């Protein structure tokens, strides 16, 4: 398997030699966006450009870059093939350096959800003043509202929900 895997990797990264620098940076960042589940790069977007790829080349190269970046974050080292061109090495390294933290966050989220843990994705909070009625015009009380945007994975399905909470000053202490 090692020899076959190495041959597949060589075939995948040599496809990167068939792409211009401008399209290369866009492709690399598109691979990371796909890894982060933000937006997937589409072969049709690259088809009529300065790239000599088939759709299979595109898919293999995308998978190669994603596996390279994923493993590099896990190992905390970017291990690139020695026979890449200087421009290609620089582009892959620059994209990795810029997006390393995003990839780490995505891998951590994936790990948490795969192990059936709940994950807080985002926290929204608001501080508001509650004013009393006309009889109690002097009564003013701060209230904190917190919304926790959570997700958990059950089977293959990721469930998303929002937990709302409101507290006064005494409850916060």
pLDDT per residue as tens, the chain (173 positions): 333 344 345 556 677 777 877 788 889 999 999 999 888 878 877 776 767 788 888 888 899 999 999 999 999 999 888 888 888 999 999 999 999 999 999 999 888 888 878 888 889 999 887 776 666 555 677 888 999 988 888 877 888 889 898 888 777 76
- Do both 94 and 160 map to the same domain? no
- Do both 132 and 104 map to the same domain? no
| Phi (first) and psi of residue 133, to 5 degrees | -75, 180
Q: Domain residues for 153?
A: 119-172
- Do both 97 and 36 map to the same domain? yes
- Do both 86 and 166 map to the same domain? no
CB-based contact 108:95 (threshold 8 Å): no
CB-based contact 113:153 (threshold 8 Å): yes
- Find all residues with CB under 8 Å of 132, minimum gap 6, and list them: 138, 139, 140
Quickly list H helices, 51-85.
55-75
- Do both 10 and 83 map to the same domain? yes
- Do both 110 and 139 map to the same domain? no
What is the domain count for the chain? 2
- Do both 37 and 101 map to the same domain? yes
- Do both 23 and 10 map to the same domain? yes
């Amino acid at each position: 398997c090692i020899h076959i895997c190495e041959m597949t990797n060589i075939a995948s990264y040599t496809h990167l030699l068939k792409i211009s620098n401008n399209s290369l940076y866009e492709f690399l960042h598109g691979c990371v966006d796909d890894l982060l589940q933000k937006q997937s790069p589409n072969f049709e977007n690259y088809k009529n450009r300065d790239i000599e790829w088939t759709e299979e080349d595109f898919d293999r190269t995308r998978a190669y870059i994603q596996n390279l970046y994923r493993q590099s974050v896990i190992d905390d080292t970017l291990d690139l093939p020695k026979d890449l061109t200087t421009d290609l090495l620089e582009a892959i390294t620059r994209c990795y350096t810029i997006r390393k933290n995003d990839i780490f966050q995505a891998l951590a989220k994936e790990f948490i959800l795969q192990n059936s843990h709940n994950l807080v994705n985002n926290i929204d909070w608001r501080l508001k003043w509650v004013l009393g009625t006309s009889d109690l015009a002097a009564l003013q009380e701060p209230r904190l509202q917190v919304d926790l945007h959570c997700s958990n994975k059950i089977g293959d399905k990721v469930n998303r929900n929002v937990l709302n909470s409101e507290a006064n000053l005494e409850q916060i202490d």
